[in-house]
Amino acid sequence: MLELSLPEALVVLGIEADQGTTRDRLTLSYAIGGGQLAELELAGRISVDDEQVVVINDAATGDEHLDELLAKIAGADRPHTPGHWVMKRRSAGLAVYVRRLVATGVVRGESRRLLGFIPRTVFPIVHAGTRERALAEIQSALADPAARSQRDAALIALLHASAIARRLIGDDEQRERAADIAEQDVIARAVKRAVDAVQAGAPS
């Protein structure tokens, strides 16, 4: 069983398993940007609050994309908000992690035609067990708060903030718990603000 990073887990859970497409590419991209920040925070590389993201340890993580983000945060002319970095990372995040998941065999790139003639590439889930385990871990973490890790909480918060959780969590009580977790998570709040702005038609 492959261990997924937060951004990878968000992609796996955000893709429609059979169709290989996402319902909202931009929303998922914001969540992935949040997932990258959360990974750096969990690794002890950054400190995050509502007002700013600050590097507290600039040692490489060994992940080239996280290290690229870490270097950008460290090299910024001044500290920026979590929302700034969430939106800065939206352009390439989804493509980066889809490529990773293709390389590890979790998803497959497949050419199809929309409406019979518009070419597009989709990424159906190949390794169903990876997605099923990710879902099971989320449900377990929501059912038993005592067993919930920081990583579980971060993933749940990002799924809720990006509205992906609505499709994954059917139990009303668990949805409420996910909302509570997201409300307490600084990065998830930044993702939700970005998502809300998009849904309201505001410039992002």
Tell me the CA distances in angstroms from 200 to 52, 147, 179, 180, 189, one per residue in order: 25, 36, 20, 23, 16
pLDDT category at 204 given cuts 50, 70, 90 is very low
Tell me the CA distances in angstroms from 191 to 33, 83, 99, 146, one per residue in order: 8, 7, 23, 26
Dihedral angle computed from the Cα positions of residues 84, 86, 91 and 95, in that order, rounded to the nearest 10 degrees: 160
Average pLDDT over residues 69-80: 96
- Confidence check: pLDDT of 88 > 90: no
pLDDT category at 21 given cuts 50, 70, 90 is confident
- Confidence check: pLDDT of 113 > 80: no
pTM of the model: 0.89
Measured distance CA(68)–CA(41) in Å, rounded: 15
Q: What are phi and psi of 132, to 5 degrees?
A: -65, -40
- Strands (DSSP E) contained in 91-185 are 110-114, 118-122
Domains defined along the chain, listed by start: 6-198 (1.10.3630.10)
- Best CA proximity match to 62, nearest among 88, 84, 43: 43
C-alpha 67 chain-centroid distance: 17
